[in-house]
Amino acid sequence: MAPKKLKKSTLFKSYLNWSFFHLASLGFERMEAFGFLHSMMPIIKELYPDNKEEELAALKRHAVFYNVEPILGTVVPGIVAALEENRANGAKIDDAMINGVKVGLMGPLSGIGDSFFQGLFTPILLSIGISLAVDGSPVGPIFYIITALTFIIFFSYFVYFRGYKLGINSVGLFLGDNSKRVQEAFTVLGLIVTGAIGAKFVGLSLNINILSDGSVTVQTFLNNLFPNLLPLLLLVSTWYLRVKKQVKPTTLIIAYVILAFLGVAAGIL
């Protein structure tokens, strides 16, 4: 009997299922489990067309808790598709091994993916888009949507099929010291980018006179002492309230809007 080989169209359906539905049934009990199961459905259907027992076992195998950063995490369905194909061809790959690969990759991929996409990729594109939209131009949001969507589509497509091609051999790329170094690098770079964005877009000045003739204000004094000190204090205070005190972002936004209106009305901001 010829070995089973997944069709490119089947793999593409699996990729699309993950890309569109990985968060479709997100819940606290199983997180992305059913999204992952949905991505495996075309694979299972093709590998076990006449074996209902194996099909049912595969469905149960992929219905367990699973959660990962979904863009870089697209590599996992590709890897698992290769494992399922090898298993269907008689390789000694049991449920524990497949689930072990999934569980083992969740943490490293989430760390790397979140550091890159949330800490670096998105802030950079948003900063460019915001600068393009300063004068009300629609180019800013259009740039962000098209650029982000194009990159995510091509990147996720690439990592899915790279994961399938490499199979179990690709696991080592995301585990151990490799993942730690990559995650730390993206984290540091993301912090640098966030700081640069804050320095460029966060503005705060005090229009309070020190001398009665108005020749010296609090802001001119601070600019000579420490330029952009107030925006820095505002940025650090926001981080402290959000991270350390767990204040909700919406609460901070509303508070800043109210303070801005009051400050401008009083003539001190």
Chain centroid to CA 262: how far? 36
> Could you tell me which residues come within 8 angstroms of residue 206 by beta carbon, excluding any fewer than 6 positions away?
217, 218, 219, 222, 230, 268, 269
Contact present, 116 and 73 (Cβ < 8 Å): no
Tens place of pLDDT for every residue, the chain, 269 residues? 677 888 999 999 999 999 999 988 888 888 899 999 999 999 999 998 888 888 888 888 898 888 889 999 999 999 999 988 888 888 887 888 888 888 888 878 888 888 888 878 888 898 889 888 888 889 999 999 999 999 999 999 999 999 898 876 655 555 555 556 655 665 666 567 667 667 777 878 888 777 666 666 777 778 777 888 888 888 888 888 888 888 888 888 899 899 989 988 888 87
pLDDT for the residue 44: 92
pLDDT for the residue 180: 62
Q: Return d(Cα 19, Cα 154) in angstroms, integer.
A: 11
pLDDT for the residue 160: 94
Where does residue 166 rank: exposed (0-12), middle (13-18), buried (19+ CB within 10 A)? middle
Residue ranges in the chain assigned as alpha helix (H)? 8-21, 33-47, 52-61, 75-88, 95-113, 122-132, 139-166, 177-201, 218-225, 229-239, 249-266
